[in-house]
Every structure is written in structure tokens, then in C-alpha cells.
Amino acid sequence: MLSFNADKEKYNVGDKATLIIPSGGSGRALVSLETGSRVLDAVWVELKAKETRHSFIITADMAPNVYAHVTLLQPHAKTVNDLPIRLYGVIPIPVEDAGTHLEPVVNLPKEIAPMCPSAWR
């Protein structure tokens, strides 16, 4: 299991999100951004020493949340670390879209009288 995180807990549409992926310096990672119904983006990222950072822009398609799936593949010919060749992890990324917030206004009288029992029939 791959344990990684994002630089913030919650994002707004238009923000730049950064995934922080621990890495051993060689290999690459498939980063996939998915909703519950479709894949929004998938890209291969070359790994760097100690940690790899991958940034992307939050879009309206990602609201109310998007899931970042990361599959990390290490070269099998090298034994630099004792981690498995393949690691996989997923995290949710909450997204706020101010354009979709509803603010209903309900106009009611100050008091409401109950109906009489004869009207229940």
C-alpha cells in the first residue's frame, strides 16, 4: 500500500493541488484523477529522490470530490530499497464549487395554525 497525501485538506475550483508521493528515486508513477463515474485525467510521472510532487489544477468537473489514484512502479532490476515493485494508493480530494451552492429563502407566517380534525377526512 502506498501512503501519500495532498498539500491541503480542501480545494476550491481554480486552485492548484499538489500530491506528495514518497519515492526512492527511480521508477515512475501513474497518477489518475477519477470521480465516481469516470476518469478525468491520467499521467505518468517520473519519480525523484525522497519525494515526488505532482501538481494539477482543480476544475469544476472535480466537484464535490475527486479521487487521486497513484500506482508506483519501481524497476525490478535494481534492489536499492526493500519496497515492493508495485505500490498502490488512493486518497479523496474534497472540492468546493461556490457556483453550485444554494441559499434558499423560505417565507412563512410567524405562526401556523393546525388543521381541524374534520379536515383530515
Is residue 71 classed as helix, strand or coil in its secondary structure? strand
d(CA 79, CA 92): 32
What's the predicted TM-score (pTM) here?
A: 0.79
pLDDT tens across 50-104, in order? 899 999 999 999 999 999 999 999 887 766 667 778 999 999 999 999 888 899 9
d(CA 75, CA 78): 6
pLDDT tens across 45-55, in order? 999 988 999 99
Strand partners, 68: 33, 91
d(CA 62, CA 19): 15
For residue 78, the one-letter residue type is K
d(CA 62, CA 94): 9
In order of start, what are the domains of the chain with their CATH numbers? 5-95 (2.60.40.1930)
| 50: Cα separation from own chain's centroid | 23
